[in-house]
Amino acid sequence: MLPRERTEMLEREILSPYAALSSRSKGRLAPEEQCDIRTDFQRDRDRIIHSKAFRRLKHKTQVFLSPEGDHYRTRLTHTLEVSQIARTIARALRLNEDLTEAIALGHDLGHTPFGHTGEAVLNEICPRGFRHNIQGLRVVEILEKDGKGLNLTWEVRDGILNHTSRDIAATVEGRLVSLADRVAYINHDIDDAIRAGIISVEDLPLNCVDILGDTHSRRINNMITDIIDNSADGCINMSQPVKDAMNQLREFMFGHVYLDPVAKGEEKKAQHVVKELYFYFLKHVDKLPDDMKLLLECTDISDVVCDYVAGMTDTYAIRMYKELFLPESWN
């Protein structure tokens, strides 16, 4: 028996009846010969980790634009925290940990430079609109590997597309990642905001502290424990008190951090950079990289330009803006 076959057998014996089995995946867009060692979901995880889009996450904004401190979260560290939280819950509920990890690692591949600020700008100016989850699916299906895509399984692609609160994933693992995403960003954004001096621990709503805990680790532990205790029969749930406290913390963060002039002090500049880059490349298609030009054979110009700008990191977008629009010193 091959190592992959042994893993698939163990999945059938050990996992919950509600878990997605790698041996019963709905498959890939282009059929492939299976790996002797890894299951299909394990291969998807590895493909995401080795992708260029995944590496770029380390220089993309989470909340604070291009933070100078070494310990602020980026889109990459957020992704890793989501993966850790989701995997912990998946193991406790006997769900497919490999599928969970693959979805978690790929869920934000479609994010723009400057976080949700960049997403809002592209949604405003691109004819097709823009949502990072839809773009994430485009990344793994088309944009990676010079237009070939990663050819991921249906279950992972569904989880990437449907990880936002407005969408519902088809698998339990996908729905778990969606909730783990919220648990991660609310808690680490609080941690970063305290580090930045925008809020203090004492500012947090007292009833939320009483229910969830007074430290970063306690809040995450209590949320994870609550999800495990209240999830059953393929449903991922929180108890009502914990869910209410989490939602109240989210509202608090919008009022005190996400819309705070300190945290968002550079937002208008970031909006300007994204807009100028988009309209520049729309007029100067010849300046696009060769791999993006190849897409012009089958894709509208505005979509290709949107793909290019959306794929930029914060640092690359700023550097490109300087090269295109700011004069250099003359020697």
pLDDT digits (tens, 9 = 90+) for 252-266: 999 988 877 766 678
The CATH number of whichever domain residue 143 belongs to comes to 1.10.3210.10
What pLDDT, on the 0 to 100 scale, is given for residue 329?
Answer: 77
The number of domains in the chain is 1
Question: Is the pLDDT at 38 greater than 80, yes or no?
Answer: yes
The rounded distance, in Å, linking the Cα atoms of 50 and 172 is 25
Q: Tokens for 111?
A: 């994010």
What pLDDT, on the 0 to 100 scale, is given for residue 71?
Answer: 81
Question: Is the pLDDT at 249 greater than 90, yes or no?
Answer: yes
3 part of a folded domain: no
What integer is the mean pLDDT of 224-252? Answer: 97
Question: Is the pLDDT at 165 greater than 80, yes or no?
Answer: no
Nearest to residue 284, comparing CAs of 309, 259, 261, 267?
309
Binning pLDDT at 50, 70 and 90, where does residue 62 land? Answer: confident
Give the helix, strand, coil percentages of the chain, each rounded to 5: 65, 0, 35
The rounded distance, in Å, linking the Cα atoms of 139 and 109 is 7
What integer is the mean pLDDT of 116-134? Answer: 96
306 part of a folded domain: yes
Please count the other Cβ atoms lying within 10 Å of the Cβ belonging to residue 283: 10
19 part of a folded domain: no
- CA distances to 80, 91, 101, 188 from 106, rounded to whole Å, are 10, 19, 8, 19
Half-sphere exposure of 251 (CA within 13 A, CB side): 8
Percent of the chain with pLDDT over 70: 97
Residues spanned by the domain of 272: 40-325
Please count the other Cβ atoms lying within 10 Å of the Cβ belonging to residue 172: 23
The tens digit of pLDDT for each residue in 265-309 reads 788 899 999 999 999 999 999 999 999 999 998 899 999 999 999
Q: Provide the 3-class DSSP secondary structure of residue 178.
A: helix
Give Rg (Cα) of the chain.
21
Question: Is the pLDDT at 331 greater than 80, yes or no?
Answer: no
What pLDDT, on the 0 to 100 scale, is given for residue 66?
Answer: 63
What pLDDT, on the 0 to 100 scale, is given for residue 263?
Answer: 63
* 158 contacts 169 by C-beta, under 8 angstroms: yes
The tens digit of pLDDT for each residue in 173-204 reads 999 999 999 999 999 999 999 998 899 999 99
Q: Tokens for 247?
A: 């939602």
For 191-229, letters b (16+ CB in 10 Å) and e give: bbbbebebbeeeebeeebbebbbeeeeebbeebbebbbe
The rounded distance, in Å, linking the Cα atoms of 130 and 143 is 15
8 part of a folded domain: no
The rounded distance, in Å, linking the Cα atoms of 116 and 119 is 5
What pLDDT, on the 0 to 100 scale, is given for residue 1?
Answer: 92
**Range in 32-36, 117-121, 254-258 the model is least confident about:** 254-258
Arithmetic mean of pLDDT over the chain = 94
What pLDDT, on the 0 to 100 scale, is given for residue 310?
Answer: 98
Which residue type, as a one-letter code, is found at position 203? D
Which sign does the torsion angle of CA 122, 128, 134, 135 carry?
negative
159 part of a folded domain: yes
77 part of a folded domain: yes
What pLDDT, on the 0 to 100 scale, is given for residue 167?
Answer: 83
The tens digit of pLDDT for each residue in 2-22 reads 999 999 999 999 999 999 999
What integer is the mean pLDDT of 218-238? Answer: 97
* 44 contacts 246 by C-beta, under 8 angstroms: no
150 part of a folded domain: yes
What pLDDT, on the 0 to 100 scale, is given for residue 179?
Answer: 97
305 part of a folded domain: yes
* 3-state per-residue secondary structure call for 31-60: CCCCCCCCCHHHHHHHHHHCCHHHHHHHHC
Percent of the chain with pLDDT over 90: 86
Q: Tokens for 76?
A: 């990459």
29 Rama class: left (phi>0) / alpha (psi -120 to 50) / beta: alpha
Alpha-carbon dihedral 112, 113, 115, 120, rounded to 10 degrees: -60
Residue tagged 């010849």 (tokens): 286
* 131 contacts 149 by C-beta, under 8 angstroms: no
